[in-house]
Structure 1
Amino acid sequence: MTENEISRLILDAAFKVHKALGPGLLESAYEECLFYELKNNDLFIEKQKPLPLIYEEVKLDIGYRVDLFVEKKVIIEVKSVESLNDIHLAQILTYLKLSNCRLGILINFNVTLLKNGIKRVVNNLQEN
């Protein structure tokens, strides 16, 4: 399954969760419900996956955690904030670089229209 196919399933699940719950809940509630919906689509999901920082030969287990890691290809960062800002984009881009993934989806559930809370973030990896 490609990143684009996975992202379509993710967005469908996110819209379903947002329609059922609306804005105003904690991130953890949306994350758990999104995890449930994606699992029902028979996707391999890792929740709160530890992400070490590797610098040259040094591996630092310093507490970075990816909210949801789908099919080992797409990172989902769940937010419930007044508005997304540059630090949220920087966070998911850093996670993409550290994990060598191409696609991340930043979802802010604390909006009236979910389409206004979704950012697709692409890591332009070099092909080897």
Structure 2
Amino acid sequence: MPEFRAVTERDGEVTRADLLGAPAVVGFFSGTCGPCLEQAPDFVKAVADYPGGRERVLAVVKGSGPVVAELRTLLEPVARVTMEGAGAGADSTAEAFGIVVWPSFVDIGADGRIADRPSAGELVIPTAAR
């Protein structure tokens, strides 16, 4: 997992160090992406009972406007949500993870290694703490 620094309005700063030590998942969404809007409910359903709760789930939402606000409202109950402007550039979490396809999902192992990049419906929720 790359080094990154994301700031959430509700939960403050989230960094690589915050996601180490137990499995985690990061979802990347854009307000201008039709599949993002379609798959966001599947993501919410998949991570609703994630071991460690929303502290182990990060959602990165790119863009601005009412659709982005809707995504944030949907995601915040199950994830720490960070908002990034459409032109966030080199300091963005999406850039740090090398995201070029939206939506994207990243499963991260307890050791910080990226375990998989599944679709929302293929997210594997660790069974140890279910």
- TM-score using structure 1 length: 0.31
Structure with the higher helix share, 1 or 2: 1
Tell me: higher relative CO, structure 1 or 2? Use CA pairs within 8 A at least 6 residues apart.
Answer: 2
TM-score, normalization: structure 2? Answer: 0.31
